[in-house]
Amino acid sequence: MNATKCSHCGEKLIEKADVCPKCGKMLTADTPSAVDNNSDDKKVEPQQSPKPKHSSTKRRVVRLLSTLFALALIAGGALIILFGSSSDAEDDGNGYAPWVDLGTYYDLNKINEGEDFAHFNSYELSSDRVAMTREHVADGEYQAVVLGTGVWVRSYPQLKNRTKRCQVQMGDQLMVTRSAGYSSGSYWSYVSVLSGRRAGKEGYISNDYIIEQEKYDVLQKYIFAGNSNMNTKTQSKYLNAIATVLLNLEVHKRYPNLEVTMLDTTVFGYNTIVTYRIHDMNMAKNSTLLAFVLFFNNNNDYVVLGVVPGSEVNQIDPNPNGSYDIYFVR
């Protein structure tokens, strides 16, 4: 006999009972708790949907995208190694780029950035670096150019009236045949004049008025025929110094559109510091450099204390140790 339980009190019931004999509650067919004890409480297992199958085309696309992504990462890493990250490029905003890097001569990390001005110490800027200075005319035979107007060719390497032989002019070509040593506060060379009114003449000329052809070509393009407040009558040592700076910037290889200006001349006892500004009118950023050159008043020698990105000189202070603190505007 099949038995059921009362949905209200749980009493076992006789089949087809309408009322529970224990609690007296009515039993109906649709009573949710009238449960058939003999019915099996079978658990219905959820049906698992079949796993989707990736097509071979989709798998190939995934593999291709993964390969391309890996290659992009490798290429990006290689570019960072070769050229540095973009942040490095931004950090180098106070560097020389896009000018030629003069890191061989100066350490721009020694520049101190102030609220209004940047400044450096001349010793610190060039410490453990190659000095940029005047190179004396080499020994031996070579071709050179006269740097100066009314330069005397002399019969003997001394600054005396009786040694004057003839005068040569700016741009006259010379053949330097030998070095003649130091006398009267200058080094001398024996030369043959190759061009100009005095072509064919020979004698001694002070090296202060002799310049290499390459330097003269730079002066001709960017000073004498360019945008500059200097000219052929500017002191030869000032012209020689700026030619040295321009050559080290390799302007003779790049042919930039330059404006070269002598900004300031400051005298400190027996020495003079001249500030030059070099502006490339075709550069969008970091277009201006300042060159600070120390001249020794008893001769035409000079030392370039620094070439730094900047636009104006503010102040130059001498120190007891012979160095200079230079303040400038970026």
276 within domain boundaries: yes
Q: Residue 262: pLDDT above 70?
A: yes
So what's the pLDDT on residue 299?
A: 81
CATH code of the domain containing 194: 2.30.30.40
Which element (helix H / strand E) includes 113? strand 112-113
Asked if omega into 98 is within 30° of 0 (cis), the reply is: yes
pLDDT band of residue 14 (cuts 50, 70, 90) is low
**Do 235 and 203 contact (CB within 8 A), yes or no?**
no
Round to whole Å and give the CA distance between 274 and 47: 92
Round to whole Å and give the CA distance between 204 and 206: 7
231 within domain boundaries: yes
Tens digits of residue pLDDT in 191-204: 999 999 999 999 99
Same domain flag for 225 and 273: yes
84 within domain boundaries: no
278 within domain boundaries: yes
Residue 308 falls in which region: left (phi positive, over 0), alpha (psi -120 to 50) or beta = beta
Same domain flag for 207 and 221: no
Same domain flag for 149 and 238: no
Same domain flag for 130 and 238: yes
* Percentage of the chain lying above the pLDDT 70 cut: 79
Residue 166 domain boundaries: 142-212
Task: Tell me which of 269 and 88 has the higher pLDDT.
Answer: 269
238 within domain boundaries: yes
Same domain flag for 173 and 230: no
Same domain flag for 314 and 226: yes
pTM, rounded to two decimals: 0.71
Task: Tell me which of 254 and 310 has the higher pLDDT.
Answer: 310
Q: Residue 291: pLDDT above 50?
A: yes
Total number of domains in the chain: 2
So what's the pLDDT on residue 3?
A: 58
226 within domain boundaries: yes
pLDDT band of residue 91 (cuts 50, 70, 90) is very low
pLDDT band of residue 43 (cuts 50, 70, 90) is very low
So what's the pLDDT on residue 70?
A: 76
